[in-house]
Amino acid sequence: MKHPDPDRQRGATHTVENQPPPFEDVNLFDLDAALGEGLAREGGGWAATRVRDYGAVMGRADTLALGRDANRHPPELTAFDRFGHRIDEVAFHPAWHALLGLAMEHEVHALPWRDPRAGAHVARTALHSILNQVEAGHACPITMTYACVPTLRAEKSVADEWEPRVTATRYDARSLPAREKTAATIGMGMTEKQGGSDVRANRTLAHPIGDDAYELVGHKWFYSAPMSDALLTLALTRPGAPPTCFLVPRWRPDGNRNPFHIQRLKDKLGNRSNASSEIEYRGTWARRVGPEERGVRTILAMVHHTRLDCVSGSTGLMRMALAQAIHHARHRAAFGRRLFEQPLMRNVLADLALEVEAATALMLRLARGYDGASDDAGERAFARITAAVGKYWVCKRAPHAIGEAMECLGGNGYVEEAILARLYREAPLNAIWEGSGNVICLDVLRAIAREPDALPALLGEIRTARGADPRLDAAVAKLEQDLRDPADAETRARDIVERLAMALQASLLLRHAPPAVADAFCASRLAGAGRMFGTLPASTDFAFILDRALPA
Ligand SMILES: Cc1cc2nc3c(=O)[nH]c(=O)nc-3n(C[C@H](O)[C@H](O)[C@H](O)COP(=O)(O)OP(=O)(O)OC[C@H]3O[C@@H](n4cnc5c(N)ncnc54)[C@H](O)[C@@H]3O)c2cc1C
């Protein structure tokens, strides 16, 4: 006999409804108008097809799944083999290697060094921001490998040997001497237990053994991506001396393992796919890079490039959070209407969209400064100060913006299956490494004091939009007045830096973004508004801003 209630017979409790489809199999470049326009505007238009290709690969469901897997199965340290020999190897999930392979195949680690034409840093920055949308952990070795090249070039013989390896595009996960591999990656080891920001507190000693070779004895308290083929590090050639920069390969030139003891892996808030380790040098073979006792200056060339990636990394994290939030709101209804149609939700989403568009404009203009730096002193000065200003502001905004985007998904945003939880855990990191917030703001003061062209280059760029909006004119006038006042400069540094950053963003949006975007940005960021996202004035053109941020 047929059961009178078929659902009861099958035990079905309910039908799944009012849940969005997954945000996948999308082209992360094509969906992002601000990225595409900025790429063209700042000189990287020739790379549009290449960035679009990467945007398609990275937005595929299977690539997004790699990002999940690489974080669900974190790396594991094997310090010894089963016979008790030290091997200091870290095993990663295959997803990690697959993502690194994709990144290197698309030259995210090396484009400007392989093809140094105008716009190459801009194009690579766009690629890097897309990479971070999907999985930020593997951005670490990609960034370090990109950023190491200017420091390698401080020592011609080192650059001759290593640059071809670090710019090669066939990722090679094998633990072998670099000369036997198809490509190499590089890390950076500066932070010691007693000090990270203050690298002059380094205590690791370097003992010369002839021919610019040394043996290092000491430790590093944070060293990420420890399976890199070499790292650039700081050590002292005598106690109390200023640090010198060294390259430390995982294998010695004689083909034996370099004593490179990975003590343990850090148990981190986020960035879980990436191994961050504590290491000890015990007679570890190293080669000097750059002049003795000038190591801070030598390695700062690398740090300067990693800071650009902190900006594009945080922009990428925020961009993915925004796209997820808009996508969710378009498909989810509450109280009889889709969330996307609820006026207050539109305000939150549009405000987030402004944040991401402003970060995108800043990141690409900054990248153009890196492109111009080699033959244009003005661009070099602009990049010097704006890297610090941009890193401070964009990285600081990311945790707040991503937390808000997570809330747009309600409870679904807080569970691990949604990418929001991972983006949120990742978000504070770019503000901490490569110069924490205060240190970066003090660096802006240093640039202003020691490099007379730096502040004028940034203010000149901001003033290009003079007359376009009275709110920007007023903000710049006040900034200039406050910059002339030397009193309590350190105490006021965060205030000054954030206003410089927002003035630059406003200037860029007024010149290049649609008026609805620029107007809402000036109204909320320059003329004062609420402190939370979602406090834009009611006159804002929400429909336009939202459709631009993520076309339906
Ligand atoms: C996941 C992860 C991975 C990392 N990977 C690496 C790596 O691969 N290689 C590497 O070398 N390092 C790495 N680091 C270390 C990182 O670069 C440092 O943690 C960072 O530079 C800060 O140094 P610190 O931790 O010693 O903090 P401190 O230098 O003690 O600073 C603590 C706080 O004090 C503030 N501060 C410092 N000086 C001043 C001042 N004069 N006035 C006001 N405030 C000040 C700082 O801004 C910061 O907020 C990593 C860190 C993390 C979290």
pLDDT digits (tens, 9 = 90+) for 231-245: 999 999 999 999 999
Give 189 Cα–ligand 1 centroid separation in angstroms. 12
Cα distance between residue 393 and residue 318, in whole Å: 13
Cα distance between residue 195 and residue 216, in whole Å: 18
> What is the percentage of the chain residues whose pLDDT exceeds 70?
98
Burial of 400: CB neighbours in 10 Å, binned 0-12, 13-18, 19+:
middle
Residue nearest to atom 23 of ligand 1 (CA): 196
Residue 528 confidence (pLDDT): 78
Residue 465 confidence (pLDDT): 98
Residue nearest to atom 38 of ligand 1 (CA): 439
Cα distance between residue 246 and residue 497, in whole Å: 33
Residue 2 has pLDDT above 90, yes or no: no
Asked if residue 540 lies in contact with residue 317, where contact means CB atoms within 8 angstroms, the answer is: no
> Which ligand 1 atom sits nearest the alpha carbon of residue 187?
8
Residue 171 has pLDDT above 70, yes or no: yes
Residue 1 has pLDDT above 60, yes or no: no
Give 263 Cα–ligand 1 centroid separation in angstroms. 20
For 5, phi then psi, to 5°, come to -130, 95
Give 222 Cα–ligand 1 centroid separation in angstroms. 9
Give 192 Cα–ligand 1 centroid separation in angstroms. 10
pLDDT in tens, 497-551: 999 999 999 999 999 999 999 999 999 999 977 899 999 999 999 999 999 999 9
pLDDT in tens, 33-43: 999 999 999 99
- Which of 143, 148, 191, 220 maximizes ligand 1 atoms within 8 Å of its Cβ, making it the mutation to test the pocket? 191
The pairing of beta strand 186-189 with beta strand 230-235 = parallel
Residue 7 has pLDDT above 70, yes or no: no
Please, what sign has the CA dihedral across residues 132, 112, 441, 435?
positive
> Which ligand 1 atom sits nearest the alpha carbon of residue 268?
1
Q: What is the mean pLDDT of residues 405-411?
A: 98
Residue 4 has pLDDT above 70, yes or no: no
> Which ligand 1 atom sits nearest the alpha carbon of residue 437?
47
Cα distance between residue 537 and residue 534, in whole Å: 9
- Secondary structure (H, E, C), 277-302: EEEEEEEEEEEEECCCCCHHHHHHHH
Give 194 Cα–ligand 1 centroid separation in angstroms. 11
> Which ligand 1 atom sits nearest the alpha carbon of residue 440?
47
The single residue listed with the structure tokens 């490179």 is 260
Residue nearest to atom 26 of ligand 1 (CA): 196
- Which of 432, 446, 497 maximizes ligand 1 atoms within 8 Å of its Cβ, making it the mutation to test the pocket? 432
Residue nearest to atom 52 of ligand 1 (CA): 433
Residue 9 has pLDDT above 80, yes or no: no
Asked if residue 169 lies in contact with residue 110, where contact means CB atoms within 8 angstroms, the answer is: yes
Give 242 Cα–ligand 1 centroid separation in angstroms. 19
Give 107's pLDDT tier (boundaries 50, 70, 90).
Answer: very high
Q: To the nearest whole number, what is the mean pLDDT of the chain?
A: 97
pLDDT in tens, 443-472: 999 999 999 999 999 999 999 999 999 999
Asked if residue 296 lies in contact with residue 317, where contact means CB atoms within 8 angstroms, the answer is: no
Cα distance between residue 91 and residue 100, in whole Å: 14
For 136, phi then psi, to 5°, come to -85, -20
Give 187 Cα–ligand 1 centroid separation in angstroms. 16
> What is the percentage of the chain residues whose pLDDT exceeds 90?
96
Assign 210 to helix, strand or coil. Answer: strand
The single residue listed with the structure tokens 């009193």 is 487
- With a Cβ cut-off of 6 Å, ligand 1 is lined by 187-191, 195-198, 222-224, 268, 271, 276, 429, 432-433, 436-439, 442
Q: What is the mean pLDDT of residues 182-197?
A: 97
Give 441 Cα–ligand 1 centroid separation in angstroms. 14
> Which ligand 1 atom sits nearest the alpha carbon of residue 434?
17
Give 341 Cα–ligand 1 centroid separation in angstroms. 43
> Which ligand 1 atom sits nearest the alpha carbon of residue 225?
8
> Which ligand 1 atom sits nearest the alpha carbon of residue 190?
11
Residue 21 confidence (pLDDT): 97
> Which ligand 1 atom sits nearest the alpha carbon of residue 429?
53
Residue 79 has pLDDT above 70, yes or no: yes
> Which ligand 1 atom sits nearest the alpha carbon of residue 266?
1
The single residue listed with the structure tokens 């710049």 is 476
Which amino acid is present at 83?
Answer: F
Give 436 Cα–ligand 1 centroid separation in angstroms. 6
Residue 3 confidence (pLDDT): 62
Residue 6 has pLDDT above 90, yes or no: no
Residue 10 confidence (pLDDT): 79
Angle at 277 between CA 272 and CA 279, to 5 degrees: 175
Cα distance between residue 49 and residue 95, in whole Å: 25
Asked if residue 423 lies in contact with residue 469, where contact means CB atoms within 8 angstroms, the answer is: no
Give 68 Cα–ligand 1 centroid separation in angstroms. 27
What single DSSP character describes residue 195?
A: B
Give 11's pLDDT tier (boundaries 50, 70, 90).
Answer: confident
Q: How far, in Å, are 195, 320, 426, 439 from residue 303 at the CA level?
A: 16, 26, 20, 13
Residue 322 confidence (pLDDT): 99
Tokens standing for residue 139: 């951005």
pLDDT in tens, 466-496: 999 999 999 999 999 999 999 999 999 999 9
Residue 62 has pLDDT above 60, yes or no: yes
- Which of 142, 194, 222 maximizes ligand 1 atoms within 8 Å of its Cβ, making it the mutation to test the pocket? 222
> Which ligand 1 atom sits nearest the alpha carbon of residue 436?
47
Residue 295 has pLDDT above 70, yes or no: yes
Q: For residue 235, what is the enclosing H or E element? A: strand 230-235
Assign 107 to helix, strand or coil. Answer: coil
Give 261 Cα–ligand 1 centroid separation in angstroms. 22
Give 275's pLDDT tier (boundaries 50, 70, 90).
Answer: very high
Please, what sign has the CA dihedral across residues 350, 352, 358, 363?
negative
